Structure 1
Amino acid sequence: METQNAQTQIEENSIYQRNLHALSYRDPLLFYNLMQIQTNTKYEVFMGNDSANFNIVEIANQTPLYQNDPLQENLERLNQYEVYRYYPYLYSYGLGNGILYRMMLGSEILKRIVVIEPELEIIYIVLNLIDLSDEIYSNRMILLHSPQCNYHMINSLFDMDKFSKVYSKVYDLLIPNSYYEKYSEEIIRVNKDFVQAIEHNVISVGNDTKDAIIGIKQHIENMKYSLFAPSLVEVHNKLKGRDTAIIVSTGPSLYKQLEQLKEIAPYATLFCIDASFPILYQHGIKPDIVFSLERVKESAKFYTDTPEEAQEGVIFSLTSIVHEDTIHAITKGIKQFSFRPFGYTTLFNLYEYGYLGIGMSAANMAYELVVHSQFKRCIIIGQDLAFGEDGSSHSKGAVYGENEIKPKEEKMFVEKYGGGGVVETTEIWKLFLGFYEKDIANTPYKIEVINATEGGARIRGTIEMPFKEACALIPKVKKKQLKLKAPSKAVARKNFAQVIEICQNWIDYGETQQNQIEEVFSELMQFLQTIEKLNKENRLEEFDFAQMDKLIDEIDGLKDMFNSRVFHDYFTDAVQSYIFHQELDIAQLLVRPIKNDDDKKAKELEWLYCHRYWLFSLAGGIDTVVTVIRRALKFLTGAEYESERDKKIAQEKLESKKS
């Protein structure tokens, strides 16, 4: 093999420029790091008699990436990976010479392959010799430099392409080249981050549709309050230019911080979680903004247990899905509403009210407002997300007690504040922690985030600092009281009328799709009953393959509808919990390899069987949502809505009577 021709190709190659151009759009950090390399010094390239047949050798110990013929090794590995032929998403550690991935990307089934490479110079060499610019630009191939590849970067992969989550159960980290076995510790770390990210994404979907249904109902019914109250844009505009926000949560560590908090309160903007509000009142501390996010009526107790004087001069930032009891419990101060970033809240096009609450706790919501308002500094206290040393779950003085949450029999642990050990947590707190860390990692500007909880769990991405030291950083300039204005009644009424119209369209669209799904479901059930009868009577030669193909096409059409933006906005939040978990199982079937036409037909038939409950539950979910919207609409207007389907049924009855 020749090294001179390979080096010349690297130095005088427009392929590299095309690859770099694509990377500059998709991964600016990797692009920047590659720009620092003038030439390869750690690895040498040995070119064979074919442009696809070259080896890369580590100069220091003369270790080649391929022990034998590189092209032959790649072809053999490609053959071994035939079992992954139907995987649309693949993950691999080790770029090698890149030829294996070039061949794998020839498959139309493969939508994306993520390759983690520990050696920047190997990426440099491969991108000089193989044109992957189209694949990089389209995100079909994502190259990650292992030292920069952390949990948050991996987690973002599943946000980039929502369909990748569906294949969580078939995740595997491929290691196609034995050269990379020496990076075993790094491989284990990366794999652990992948597993944690997948776990977070699957748990985030949930497994109970009840919360979503309640959220839709309360979001619509609360429009009579939210549209006449100050918007999110209004509070955001009034917060701009402030220096420091302190987010006050209700963990066991809060109590010891209260004296210091009272001293600094005149100078910092206090963002208080609703559960902390009564505690602050007990200690003579008045927050600027109190956040309530939950759908449940129990949140009202945080306000009914505090006198009206505690509410005066306070802004209560409520999501549109809170329980009506919570709204009525706030009798003083200013109620300000925002929408959570769900599909069904975005479809109303009331952007001035959105969006906060992508995370699952009021603390997540508070941090999002800190970022939207571009505070220079955010200090977090009381955010333990873990049990205290005495087993307590909440601060002294908490409305529902210090031991509201009990430790589980099956223990779960996370890294402790300050490091050097672990603390006991719960599955929900761990989920909150994940959202907090994700929010911090995705903050689009430089902000100083200080975790001054001095206890509980470590929140990655924060600076750990005693609360007293953190307070010393705050300029001793007295803050101004926040004053908000509600929209004019004319604007509010116009928005309200728009909400009514959108709800009516929602009902009509839902009933149309429900009818189509039910028709296909009925057709599928008849077909499967016929199949089972033929099988029982040993008459499978009469199997109607044309009918099977027709059903597959019809269900594929329904899946296109299911994945459309309009359906997503209307229904996905309500149905995703149980549909998603079915899709996880269906994905395991989809990736199963087939050897012949009989395997293909058997796989297609099993696919149809899998969609019996998929269709049934989807139609049922739509029906539930439509019923809830009807009731909420009646609550707002005082009248039943006659949908397009209602009119059609009435017309058919009229014509039937005439005949």
Structure 2
Amino acid sequence: MLIPRDYLFAFYLDLKPFSYVFYSVSVAHLAFVIALNLAFKNIIFIGQDLAFNDEGDSHPKDYKHTPKYESSNYKGLKALAYGGKTQAKTQEAWVYFKQVLEQMINEAKCYGIEVYNATEGGLRIEGSIEKPFSLCIKELLKDTKKSYLPLSVLSFAKQSEFLLKAFVKIIKSIKNCKKFVDKISQKIKCIEQSHLDLEQTKKIIKDLECLKQELFNFKDLLELLQPSSFQLELSLAKISVINVKNEEELLRKNLLFIEEFIEYFRLVKGLLSLQRQSFLKHICALENELIKRGFENKILKIKDNIC
């Protein structure tokens, strides 16, 4: 299964027999990972120049967003050029792309894989063998008669098994989204209606921490929660270092904690609602496919048991 990066919801679906291919810093990186997974012993890169040309263009003349699409967006840098004798103009993102490629090439060498850079321009990608494409073809493709293992299509029963498995997991996630949207709404309402003294704020902070941890126990929600939760931790860290001298100041500090938590849970509530709506909209295609395969009664049973 090709996914842009290691998305947690893809792992939640747990389609283990297919495994996952990810590492898409760029299309080239993902293509490289696919080639590694296919166990090729020689991999040729071409077109990975990662540099501006002499006219300052970032893309070819026929590029749909104009050849200077990225020329004015980044501060210019210089790095060692292809051939190792001159410097080429580049920018931060391309240098990062190059560094990731170099790391991947070094790891590939541990498995006896040779990587060739046939771009004949742009930046030098350390660890790759610089060689013109024509020579790569001449030297590496001497024997064009290769045997390949035939790929077999999954049986109808196995396909249906995986479709049903994914359907069950998504239905469970839809239920979890609804469960926590209701739970968060109830918790915020209860806090807003309370008269908060020092002891109550301590209890509420503890309850909010428990609710946050409860959310993180559900693997289907982790991907959605991580960015906002990281921001919450940063905000709470700023409050936690406030020095208090008496109970009145401690109460104000606790109220700041609670305000941050409420803002976080309101954001989470909105995200969960959007995720639920998206799942409800897009699960229709999966449900229709299962109905075509004769699993209408099975679908109804699944919905009854989960929902």
Q: Which bin holds the TM-score, normalised by the shorter protein?
A: 0.7 to 0.9
- Identify if the C-alpha distance between structure 1 residues 432 and 588 changes in structure 2 by more than 3 Å, giving closer, same or farther: farther
In the other structure, the counterpart of 1:496 is: 163
- Identify if the C-alpha distance between structure 1 residues 612 and 492 changes in structure 2 by more than 3 Å, giving closer, same or farther: same
Q: Alpha-carbon deviation of 1:498?
A: 1.5
Matches within 5 A, 1:605-624: 605-624=255-274
Are 2:51 and 2:88, in contact at CA under 8 Å, matched by a contact in 1? Answer: no
Q: Alpha-carbon deviation of 1:586?
A: 3.5
Over the aligned positions, Cα root-mean-square deviation in angstroms equals 3.6
- Identify if the C-alpha distance between structure 1 residues 431 and 573 changes in structure 2 by more than 3 Å, giving closer, same or farther: farther
In the other structure, the counterpart of 1:150 is: none
Matches within 5 A, 1:449-464: 449-460=115-126, 462-464=127-129
In the other structure, the counterpart of 1:421 is: 87
Instruction: Indicate the SS of the match to 2:223.
Output: helix
The structure 2 residue matched to 1:521, chosen from 185, 188, 208, is 188
Instruction: Indicate the SS of the match to 2:13.
Output: coil
In the other structure, the counterpart of 2:72 is: 408
Matches within 5 A, 1:37-48: none
* 1:463-512 deviation line (CA, Å, top 9, x unaligned): 35132565565251115375533212221112112121111111112222
Are 1:416 and 1:423, in contact at CA under 8 Å, matched by a contact in 2? Answer: no
Alpha-carbon distance in structure 2 between the residues aligned to 1:414 and 1:608: 49
Alpha-carbon distance in structure 1 between the residues aligned to 2:256 and 2:269: 21
Q: Alpha-carbon deviation of 1:453?
A: 2.4
Instruction: Indicate the SS of the match to 2:254.
Output: helix
- Identify if the C-alpha distance between structure 1 residues 434 and 573 changes in structure 2 by more than 3 Å, giving closer, same or farther: farther
- Identify if the C-alpha distance between structure 1 residues 341 and 466 changes in structure 2 by more than 3 Å, giving closer, same or farther: same
Instruction: Indicate the SS of the match to 1:415.
Output: strand
Q: Alpha-carbon deviation of 1:554?
A: 1.4
The structure 1 residue matched to 2:6, chosen from 308, 322, 341, is 341
Matched, 1:561 2:214: yes
- Identify if the C-alpha distance between structure 1 residues 392 and 501 changes in structure 2 by more than 3 Å, giving closer, same or farther: same
Instruction: Indicate the SS of the match to 2:45.
Output: strand
Q: Alpha-carbon deviation of 1:600?
A: 5.4
In the other structure, the counterpart of 2:16 is: 351
Alpha-carbon distance in structure 2 between the residues aligned to 1:602 and 1:627: 38
- Identify if the C-alpha distance between structure 1 residues 600 and 442 changes in structure 2 by more than 3 Å, giving closer, same or farther: farther
Are 2:229 and 2:264, in contact at CA under 8 Å, matched by a contact in 1? Answer: yes
In the other structure, the counterpart of 1:474 is: 140
Give TM-score, length-normalised by structure 2: 0.77
Are 1:348 and 1:502, in contact at CA under 8 Å, matched by a contact in 2? Answer: yes
Give TM-score, length-normalised by structure 1: 0.39
Identity among equivalent positions (%) equals 21
In the other structure, the counterpart of 2:279 is: 629
Are 1:341 and 1:354, in contact at CA under 8 Å, matched by a contact in 2? Answer: no
- Identify if the C-alpha distance between structure 1 residues 619 and 440 changes in structure 2 by more than 3 Å, giving closer, same or farther: farther
The structure 2 residue matched to 1:436, chosen from 101, 114, 118, is 101
Structure 1 or 2: larger strand share?
1
Q: Alpha-carbon deviation of 1:544?
A: 0.8
* 1:404-423 deviation line (CA, Å, top 9, x unaligned): 72422542536243465352
Matched, 1:510 2:160: no
Alpha-carbon distance in structure 1 between the residues aligned to 2:238 and 2:124: 36
- Identify if the C-alpha distance between structure 1 residues 463 and 617 changes in structure 2 by more than 3 Å, giving closer, same or farther: same
Give the gaps of 5 or more residues in structure 2: 292-298
* CA radius of gyration, larger in: 1
Give the gaps of 5 or more residues in structure 1: 1-231, 233-318, 322-339, 531-542, 648-659
Alpha-carbon distance in structure 2 between the residues aligned to 1:403 and 1:597: 63
Alpha-carbon distance in structure 1 between the residues aligned to 2:98 and 2:253: 41
Instruction: Indicate the SS of the match to 2:77.
Output: strand
Alpha-carbon distance in structure 2 between the residues aligned to 1:588 and 1:606: 10
In the other structure, the counterpart of 1:447 is: 113
Instruction: Indicate the SS of the match to 1:347.
Output: helix
In the other structure, the counterpart of 2:294 is: none
Q: Alpha-carbon deviation of 1:452?
A: 3.1
